[in-house]
């Protein structure tokens, strides 16, 4: 969803607007295309996804990822001024809270089972 928001925001941007936003390096490599990366330009990689055959370890990792995503959305909300951007970010933030709670329920279930 964030990629779609960025795509929509850049769709009609002029070269001057892209330069003014400090996005000329991104444009040089990707034009206005979506390229999943962090704020420093480091690309997403599957290496970020941890998995092993231990449900407690996996769920702990999942819960941490949801909290990190929630915090990132809160940071983006702090930086945003456009209500049309803030609204979807609030939705995404709340979705991370729900995901965390579902993972926590499953974590508690497995802990109770003795894993």
CA 65 – CA 33 distance, rounded (Å): 26
Average pLDDT over residues 69-88: 96
Q: What pLDDT sits at residue 55?
A: 93
pLDDT tens per residue across span 48-78: 787 888 999 999 999 999 999 999 999 999 9
**What is the b/e burial string over 59-91, where b = at least 16 CB atoms within 10 angstroms of the residue's CB?**
bebbbebbeebbebbeebeeebeeeebeeebee
pLDDT tens per residue across span 103-112: 999 999 999 9
Please count the other Cβ atoms lying within 10 Å of the Cβ belonging to residue 19: 12
Mean per-residue pLDDT of the chain: 93
Polymer length in residues for the chain? 115
């Amino acid at each position: 969803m964030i990629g779609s928001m960025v795509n929509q925001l850049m769709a009609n941007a002029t070269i001057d607007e892209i330069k003014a936003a400090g996005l000329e390096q991104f444009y040089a490599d990707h034009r206005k295309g979506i390229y999943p990366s962090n704020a420093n330009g480091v690309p997403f990689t599957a290496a970020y996804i941890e998995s092993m055959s231990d449900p407690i370890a996996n769920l702990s990792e999942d819960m941490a990822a949801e909290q990190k995503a929630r915090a990132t959305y809160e940071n983006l909300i702090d930086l945003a001024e456009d209500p049309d951007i803030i609204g979807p970010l609030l939705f995404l933030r709340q979705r991370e809270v729900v995901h965390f709670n579902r993972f926590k329920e499953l974590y508690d279930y497995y802990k109770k089972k003795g894993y």
